[in-house]
Structure 1
Amino acid sequence: MDSDSRSRKRSASHMALSFPVIFLLSAHLGSEELQDLEEQIPTLTYDINEAEVVLGKVFRKERALFELRKRKLVTDEIDPLERSASATPDRKRAKLLTPALASSDIDSDTASEGEIQRRLIGPAPVAPKVKVVKLAWFTESVKAGEVLPLDDYVVYEGRKAPRTPVKAPQPLPAEKAADVMKRALADAGGLSSSPRPRSSQGRRGETYTSHPVRPALLRQTTSEHAIDTQLPPIPDYLHTTYSCQRPTPVHPPNEAFIEELTKIKTARTLTGDKIGVRAYSSAIATIAAYPYSFQTAQEVARLPGCGNKIALLFQEFKDTGGQLHEARADEADPKLAVLRLFYDIWGVAETTARDFYNHGWRDLDDVVEYGWDTLTRVQQIGVKYYDEFQLKIPRAEVEAIAGVIATHADRIRAGFEMVIVGGYRRGKRASGDVDVVLSHRDEGATLDFVGRVVVALERAGYITHTLSLSTTNSERGQAPVSWKGDAPKKAGAGFDTLDKALVVWQDPVWTTGEARNPNPHRRVDIIISPWKTAGCAVLGWTSGTTFQRDLRRYCKRERLLKFDSSGIRSRRDGSWVDLESGPDGAPAPDMLTAERRVFEGLGLEWRPPEERCTG
């Protein structure tokens, strides 16, 4: 059985199980584990208010209550005696106890047409229940091929407190409502291989109800309806969930809308909303690959990974002349402004930014005055050159820096080849840093080379600080590392094990009459790859973040391979897989040919760097 068949069989087996609506807690889950679980749960919702089961690594009632409170879900605990004594109501009683909601509380991403019609009838006499359940229930159910009873896995069970009543708007005519629902449900019904609900977890650690279907908002004018009947077909490549299979240009037709969504995604990043970040990243990658300018919200709703949530945001964007209320609110939020300031310090991730804020620090002066001795050396340099590191590097300067590195490398050992990677290679007009990959046909030349080139550049006055020098690849003799399974990574492990140097760069030559060097300090990454894996290095260090994420996911799901910039390994036996040598075993003639061979070997259509701008 080939890998495609296995993937389809695995997906089909998950879809065959009738799971309740599940909200997944991100606490204590690594990014890969979180992503894997999201892909496996067929009834996943991003709105905890919709969930029947809250799933996560939770083992105590107190922790379960904390997670619910954190997401603003108020519940009344169900007494264990009441739970055990309750009997399953008969069909007639079950119908009477079915809660009904106002139309503004119904999310078209998760409800069927029949369910909407049913839920619009009458008041809700009984509050729905929610159960916080151990993650093992889901994983063991999948393994067993059946949905196991919840009893042994329930950590907490409660009734959801009723929401503040909302006056229901006048319903649309039946035919119109059905049309809207069919369009909003297109993503789940036939365009996506994973028809999961698409709501959204809130910012600042809170969970907001996903945007309800508001008929006034999605009601179309006659001209808009006419446009919808003439919409261009969705390109075939957009029917895949892997952005590494799509052309994504640096300046897509809907770039202004993407910029607004990116602001919201950044706020979710700063507040630790991993699920929200992933949902927005997927939607942004899909929109960036769509080759036409949006004209109506329904055009957005039909795209995989977008659905009604993003469609409503586009409608708002269109109605307000290019604004999103949530993006404006995030920009005006003083806490988020501080978190952004800290997050932009080189060496500070979002968790560290929140730690700084929780210490009571509100600006760089606070960091220096109260926390300087607690910072790593990288973070201290990041603070020292904060303003200079915020300056973008023009393409001409990127090329000049790369040229100096190539010259010094060639002086040490003739025959080195170099590719400028990162945003420069994807076509950006200006870059945040400079990334270069160096390689040599003679494997002996790349062994321990990174230290030699850094010393040469330091002596020439170009490198002012060496913040990180990794020689992991040389330490193991440049042998491709075998895959060690899904064991946790060691602290400090990056996304590859290549030799590399992260340095601060300043051009030592200036022509002005100033006494001190006025040239700005720049961030530069120098990566050394053996020739046999240079294609993987160039591919990994060139592509956008979501492209890289989906490439790793594609390799895992569809090819049973482990990809990173230091090579490809088999998930069956851990062995290195050589996709860069020719049919006769001869090495690639150059680094760019090696990169093309990696695409071909993985069964992917070649995408030039300018088409990998997924963000």
Structure 2
Amino acid sequence: MTLEFPPIYLLPTHLQLEQQLELEDQIPSLTYNIQEAKIVLGNIATKQRALFELRSRKLYTEDINPKKRYNGEAEARKQGQSAKKRKIAHGDVRNEPIVIIDSSTESELETDPEGSDRKRSIRQSSDQMISPMRIASSPPPSPTSSVSTTATLQESDFSHIVKVLKISWFTDSLSADTLLPVDNYLVYEGRVILQQPSVTPEPLRATKLPLRKEDVLARVKEDTPQVSPGHSYRYTGRNRRHQRPASPVLTRPTKLVPQTTSEEEKISELPPVPDFLHTRYSCERPTPPDPPNKGFIEELKKIRTIRLLNADEVGVRAYSSAISAIAAYPYTIISTEEILRLPTCNQKIAALYQEWKDNGCVLEADELAEDPRLVILNTFYEIWGVGATTAREFYNKGWRDLDDVVQYGWNSLSRVQQIGVKYYEEFQEKIPRAEVEGIANIVLAHARRIAEGFQMVIVGGYRRGKSGSGDVDMVLSHPDEEVTEGFISDIVLSLEDSGWITHTLTLSTANSERSQAPVSWKGEGGKRGTGFDTLDKALVVWQNRDWPTKEADLRENPNFKNPNIHRRVDIIISPWKTAGCAVLGWSGGTTFQRDIRSYCRHVKNWKFDSSGVRSRVDGSWVDLEQGETGDMVAKEKRVFQGLGLQYREPWDRCTG
């Protein structure tokens, strides 16, 4: 039975990032706007702390039970401690285990090792002031809703009342498969009020209230900027260089979106939301490569990149979910009302759409190309082998361009990063589909020269239908598993000897070292792996060894330099028994792959990895591919079937 939770806001306080992401995946009614929440879940135990958390997010309340001793304070007094000074441990306040989320993907994203407080600060980005007109027109709450001895979760209980509950209320409700009374979990209960401003506000303009239930667009969003240190140094003894403050993570308030009569008539004629967009996971719906709202999606992608560069991991996740939902919507959006009907799309996204519709651009997205700091960070981020965390480290050292990286940090770079800098401009050029196919055919020919019977699927952006790819990803497999074990070394050596590979930067035999078994499931308390080298793979630099005038050029100059561009190539080797998982794991967009893992975790209680599927109950391998008949694509289709998902063609997995 699906539980009908009211809108829930999750406080990031005292939660590790993995715990926060895991809980966000589990909460079906999660909102990133605290003004919409009826329940605020937190790893806190006192009323004072709850009030602080609400006020810091500009949600002002009055205690409807000022003389009541809340659950958390009572517990603290029982322990002989002051509730105000009580130390809260990480994790659930009842010390119940919280499963660490497996957010691994087949990409080179880095995890920011910096403190969790920095990562949590971005949650303030969705805080808003409630419209005075909305409050003025609201009836007072029923007094019985706040004094009942057993509080239940009826909708009327939460009319303009916010309850701060312990996280354990949610997890216990899931375990009991019913919404539990909140008395034993209640930290604070308050009525939402309008905080009087310290200065005379501008007079309110008369605004017609929306006709529909979704009146969230009448709220005003205020964003909290983040600022980095103002000075940095290139190296000891060099003159100090004054830097402009860091760009704020979120900069502009959400504007009220007026509606005209003609627009209201259009809203009444909107097409129904397709059934597949009532699903939670992007892997349950088709997402084409060229959606009708591509222009607006590109603006959202720019904002997502800004969030990534500014260490806003939760913001990245939220924008990714919104992008995937809009990309799956099969109609051209004409109003903000359509945005608000889509999963994971809130009033912030609707306001951005209105700005884009009115102006043809989004000012916040323009910052990626106009803000000097973001331009520099993005340049560093596009270096092969450099993620967002390392890009910020480069910037904090005072480096401002590739020349600085070479001059002041060359010896500190990894081999991959050095190659990324050396061939930076070449790696920025997209690889045409014909060239991708040519590279793949050469690799397959070498594989079959070593052992007959190899099969290959070109994966990544090429398989999703992109006209140009950043690199070439390919999965090879063979029905005889003795052939694939250790084969990655043989194929790389063959290609090197033939002059196709100029640099081998990574050569992983992790899968062969564990006898080609699916990656192990370490249990709920196990350490999370990277999820990147779960299969045998090679990360290489490729250069076409032939060009039209090669013979004449070498005859004239034996040291003539090969003029062909360098390309990035990933060669992945999978055992036959899990080749379908490998193809699936390397074919979807980032959000599609993330949601495949979340779906397996929460719906099937399995752990999905490109090396196979394991049960989270006992760690046993789950064979979804059942036998050796068919090719690698047929095996991928059996994985979809085993997961209980409708098969999606690769070009319908373009979640962005």
Q: What band does the TM-score fall into relative to the shorter chain?
A: 0.7 to 0.9
SS in 2 for 1:182: coil
**Residue 303 of structure 2 corresponds to which residue in structure 1?**
264
- Once residues 200 and 396 of structure 1 are traced to their aligned partners in structure 2, the CA distance between those partners, rounded to angstroms, is 49
**Residue 172 of structure 1 corresponds to which residue in structure 2?**
207
- Once residues 307 and 576 of structure 2 are traced to their aligned partners in structure 1, the CA distance between those partners, rounded to angstroms, is 39
**Residue 459 of structure 1 corresponds to which residue in structure 2?**
497
**Residue 442 of structure 2 corresponds to which residue in structure 1?**
404
SS in 2 for 1:594: helix
Q: Could you state the TM-score of these two structures normalised by the residue count of structure 1?
A: 0.77
Q: CA deviation at 1:72?
A: 8.2
| Offset from partner CA, 1:142-190 (integer Å, 9 cap, x none) | 779554768999xxxxx999576542523434xxx141543659xxxxx
SS in 1 for 2:67: coil
Structure 1 residues 72 and 599, CA gap change in structure 2 (3 angstroms): same
| Offset from partner CA, 1:113-160 (integer Å, 9 cap, x none) | 97563499xxxxxxxxx999997797689779554768999xxxxx99
SS in 1 for 2:137: helix
Q: CA deviation at 1:588?
A: 3.1
- Once residues 164 and 564 of structure 1 are traced to their aligned partners in structure 2, the CA distance between those partners, rounded to angstroms, is 56
- Once residues 343 and 380 of structure 2 are traced to their aligned partners in structure 1, the CA distance between those partners, rounded to angstroms, is 34
Contact 2:475–2:572 at 8 Å: present in 1 too? yes
Contact 2:165–2:187 at 8 Å: present in 1 too? no
> Which of the pair is proportionally richer in helix?
1
SS in 2 for 1:542: coil
Structure 1 residues 476 and 575, CA gap change in structure 2 (3 angstroms): same
| Paired residues for 1:314-463 under 5 Å | 314-320=353-359, 322-463=360-501
Q: CA deviation at 1:565?
A: 0.7
SS in 1 for 2:214: helix
Q: CA deviation at 1:106?
A: 4.3
Q: CA deviation at 1:587?
A: 1.6
Structure 1 residues 107 and 506, CA gap change in structure 2 (3 angstroms): farther
Does 2:536 correspond to 1:556?
no
- Once residues 152 and 311 of structure 1 are traced to their aligned partners in structure 2, the CA distance between those partners, rounded to angstroms, is 33
**Residue 87 of structure 1 corresponds to which residue in structure 2?**
67
| Paired residues for 1:510-589 under 5 Å | 510-512=547-549, 513=553, 515-581=560-626, 586-589=627-630
**Among the aligned pairs, what percent are the same residue?**
54
| Paired residues for 1:43-442 under 5 Å | 44-47=30-33, 87=67, 106=129, 115=135, 117-118=137-138, 145=180, 147=182, 166-173=201-208, 177-182=209-214, 184=216, 204=226, 211-212=253-254, 214=256, 217-222=257-262, 224-320=263-359, 322-442=360-480
- Once residues 181 and 242 of structure 1 are traced to their aligned partners in structure 2, the CA distance between those partners, rounded to angstroms, is 25
SS in 2 for 1:467: strand
Matched positions, count? 542
Deviates more, 1:355-364 or 1:535-544: 355-364
Q: CA deviation at 1:508?
A: 1.4
Structure 1 residues 484 and 251, CA gap change in structure 2 (3 angstroms): same
Contact 1:23–1:53 at 8 Å: present in 2 too? no
**Residue 596 of structure 1 corresponds to which residue in structure 2?**
637
- Once residues 179 and 74 of structure 1 are traced to their aligned partners in structure 2, the CA distance between those partners, rounded to angstroms, is 27
| Offset from partner CA, 1:43-66 (integer Å, 9 cap, x none) | 75535788899877899xxx999x
Q: Could you state the TM-score of these two structures normalised by the residue count of structure 2?
A: 0.73
Structure 1 residues 566 and 433, CA gap change in structure 2 (3 angstroms): same
Structure 1 residues 147 and 291, CA gap change in structure 2 (3 angstroms): same
| Offset from partner CA, 1:337-361 (integer Å, 9 cap, x none) | 1110111111111111111111111
Partner amino acid for 2:12?
L
Contact 2:221–2:255 at 8 Å: present in 1 too? no
Contact 1:106–1:116 at 8 Å: present in 2 too? no
- Once residues 281 and 607 of structure 2 are traced to their aligned partners in structure 1, the CA distance between those partners, rounded to angstroms, is 16
RMSD of aligned Cα (Å):
4.2
Deviates more, 1:346-355 or 1:138-147: 138-147
Structure 1 residues 160 and 335, CA gap change in structure 2 (3 angstroms): farther
Structure 1 residues 496 and 594, CA gap change in structure 2 (3 angstroms): farther
- Once residues 463 and 610 of structure 1 are traced to their aligned partners in structure 2, the CA distance between those partners, rounded to angstroms, is 29
Contact 1:439–1:529 at 8 Å: present in 2 too? yes
SS in 2 for 1:501: strand
Does 2:17 correspond to 1:34?
no
Structure 1 residues 518 and 135, CA gap change in structure 2 (3 angstroms): farther
Q: CA deviation at 1:24?
A: 2.5
Contact 1:26–1:275 at 8 Å: present in 2 too? no
Contact 1:461–1:508 at 8 Å: present in 2 too? yes
Contact 2:164–2:187 at 8 Å: present in 1 too? no
